[in-house]
Amino acid sequence: MAILVDENSRVVVQGITGGAGSFHTKRMLEYGTKIVAGTSPGKAGQIVEGVPVFDAVAECVDATGANVSVIFLPAQFVLDGAIEAIRAGIKVVVVVPEHIPLVDMMKIRLEAKKRSALVIGGNTAGIISPGKANVGIMPDIAFKPGRVGTVSRSGSLTYYVADTLSSSGFGETTCVGLGGDPILGTTFEEILDLFDKDPETSAVVLVGEIGGVYEEMTPPRIAKMTKPVLAMVAGVHAPRGKRMGHAGAIIEGAMGTAKEKLGALENAGAHIAHTFLDIPVILNKLGV
């Protein structure tokens, strides 16, 4: 099995006629993802990579049964696009663009909660269930079907972890890019809950980074997990007050350091991996 997306997911690409939208639509289709529709207001009737274009997401849902959306829109249009998708009945919305205004993400989260939808991102590489579906911009070369789930705030760290799991024979059930913006649509806890319920996921690798409190909110859920959780946190040597890559990766005030995050995760029962090569060693010791 997998979480969030699989071979039965019916995906709509919002912004399909743009450069990024059309490019990644082609990539996702080549992987085998079921892209059933795209949107671009005023361009209904066009065809992109064999995919029909509609003016609105609701039209896509009515015509194709779409149930997953991936957004390739400029940041200033993500609020309208995400809320449109959620109100159209889409239950998984993947927000690829970065630097989404904080108040916009708060409004999106509120709307998603009202309608029982899950928003991944902003600034996410997306979601991939190896061999089943790739929704976003994940480079499929790093991923192989297997038994370990991953959730990470960083796209590039997701790829490195997956490559480590794939080359060491574990493979992945689903890899989720939580996103690198300061305000995210989904928390680590929600993804851990889904993995804990997935019968084919034997363990979970959680990858955090400096800044924000998402990792430090996670320990209560880790303590209840029925499966092992391995944790890494990037930015152990990052200087306070300097942004390290993502908009949310900055230590401000007394919270958000890698050391604090690692301590909180370890105290909750997570197995700490200090390097990528530690991951298969720990999994083998746990008998995963």
Among 17, 10, 12, 67, smallest CA distance to 40 is for: 17
| Phi, psi dihedral angles at 45 (to 5 degrees) | 100, -20
Of the residues 24, 99, 237, 246, only one is catalytic, namely: 246
CA triple 286-134-63, angle to 5 deg: 135
- Residues in contact with 40: Cβ distance below 8 Å, sequence separation at least 6, in sequence order: 15, 16, 17, 18, 21, 46, 53, 55
Is 246 a catalytic site residue? yes
- Can you read off the two tokens belonging to residue 222? 């880790």
3-state secondary structure of 125: coil
Q: List residues bridging with 205 in a β-sheet.
A: 150, 230
Run of H or E including 119: strand 118-120
Crossing angle (nearest 10°) for helices 78-87 and 102-114? 0
Strands 133-136, 126-129: pairing kind: antiparallel
Which residues are known to be catalytic?
246
